[in-house]
Amino acid sequence: MRRFAVLAVLGLALAAGPIGQPAPSFQGTTLAGEPFDLAHYLGRLPIVLHFWASNCPPCHVEAPYWAQAQAAYGDRLLIVGVDVQDIPTMAREFAARYGWAFPNVQDGTAAVAAAYRVVGKPTTVFIGSDGTVVGYHPGPYTSAAAFERDLLRLLAWRP
């Protein structure tokens, strides 16, 4: 029984993502074909990583929230989409369909998802302006209000 309890706690810790740890950096190519290096932004401004795929029904439900967030807060934080499953054409079509103007990087090997302990889609990771992971939201947002609440918490967060 004790062993089960330890494993359950460990599982919850892993599912919570790397909160309190320095955000793992990564490099990639955006859907627009531009090079992207997260290290260029870490420690400079708040960052939101959104792990998604076009074949994920909840990703479609919350996709409009991301375009709205970019329009409302894009001058105060960086949103980066991380596509974890699509071929480039499908990913570009998805991003265009929802009017995403923020960078989206493909994670074809799932290395970025593994570094952030992402176990499902969608998953949102919040990185503070000091480069530390300060929040982790596995699964979809059920309302625009809950999504905005977390964005405002990130913007108000201080190291």
- For residue 139, the 8-state DSSP code is S
* Average pLDDT rounded to a whole number, residues 9-14: 36
pLDDT in tens, 80-89: 999 998 899 9
Q: Contact, 120 vs 136, CB < 8 A?
A: no
Domains of the chain, by residue range, sit at 2-156
Angle at 60 between CA 151 and CA 56, to 5 degrees: 105
Residue type, 108: G
The matching CATH number, chosen from 3.40.30.10, 3.40.718.10, 3.90.79.10, 2.60.40.10, for 2-156 is 3.40.30.10
Q: Contact, 46 vs 76, CB < 8 A?
A: yes
Q: Contact, 58 vs 65, CB < 8 A?
A: no
Cα separation of 46 and 147, whole Å? 15
* Cα radius of gyration rounded to whole Å, the chain: 15
Find the helix or strand (DSSP H, E) in which 72 lies. Answer: helix 57-73
Phi and psi dihedrals of 105, rounded to 5?
-115, 140
Phi and psi dihedrals of 102, rounded to 5?
-90, 160
Half-sphere exposure of 157 (CA within 13 A, CB side): 25
pLDDT of residue 11: 37
pLDDT in tens, 19-57: 999 999 999 999 999 999 999 999 999 999 999 999 999
pLDDT of residue 85: 87
